[in-house]
Structure 1
Amino acid sequence: MTDGLKIVVVPVKDLDAGKAFYGALLGVEPMQDAPFYVGYETAGIHLGLNPHGHEQGMTGPTYYWIVDDLAGTRDALVAAGGSVLQDATNVGGTRTIATVADADGNVIGLAQDA
């Protein structure tokens, strides 16, 4: 079961420029502002800026679906023709993420809060 699309992470090469741009777009200050990640909360969506995203292979925004069972959802997507790009990884606190590509190479993120 999914809770829906709740997170979008954008790779940025210049974190300060990204903060200026997305801050102007969203009209809010970041809720998390660290050298490795900047996160905004707006309209029920978390928008994150990842200054290492390009190094990690991100070619554009990754959309994360909140799921109740990350491993089960990942396995179901692989069985349906997807492939794992990044297996389950704890990203701090109780959040675990993974990324899967569909048959066309489009990246889908999965996130689970324990």
Structure 2
Amino acid sequence: MSDSPVQGIKTVLHPVSDLAKAKAVYAALLGVPPTADSSYYVGFEVGGQHIGLVPDGGQQGMTSPVAYWHVLDIEAKIAELTAAGAAVKEAPHDVGGGRLVASVTDPDGNVLGLLQDS
């Protein structure tokens, strides 16, 4: 295993307006059924990546897909990023099972998602 505190992009979330229609399209694209399927989130596991569909993502401030960089220490990475000029968009919070997510924006407003598994 690498000593890097960043494990790469393993999760990409897509805001969708119609979850049922989006689920059908992504299932056809990926060739697998969802591994998480609820009224508030649909997720697929394929090729070592997690592809998630977030209904009404625009209401959560998602205006485009967000790639989530998996990190070992989310607080330390946010401190490092803000010291380098990024701004916190979404503070770290638990989304279940000890998984923490957060996001920052780079100086051009691009959203960088961060994810730390417990």
What is the aligned-residue RMSD (CA, Å)? 0.6
**Letter of the aligned partner of 2:86 in structure 1?**
G
**Letter of the aligned partner of 1:88 in structure 2?**
P
- Alignment length (residue pairs): 114
The answer to whether the aligner puts 1:97 opposite 2:101 as a matched pair is: yes
Structure 1 residue 94 displacement after superposition: 1.6
**Structure 1: gaps spanning 5 or more residues:** none
- The aligned residue for residue 45 of structure 1 is 49
CA distance in 1, matches of 2:117, 2:29: 28
- Give percent identity, aligned residues only: 49
- The aligned residue for residue 87 of structure 1 is 91
Structure 1 residue 91 displacement after superposition: 0.4
1:28 to 32, 36, 39: 32
CA distance in 2, matches of 1:61, 1:89: 19
- The aligned residue for residue 80 of structure 2 is 76
**Structure 2: gaps spanning 5 or more residues:** none
Structure 1 residue 31 displacement after superposition: 0.1
**Letter of the aligned partner of 1:87 in structure 2?**
A
The answer to whether the aligner puts 1:11 opposite 2:15 as a matched pair is: yes
**TM-score of the aligned structures, taking structure 2 as reference length:** 0.95
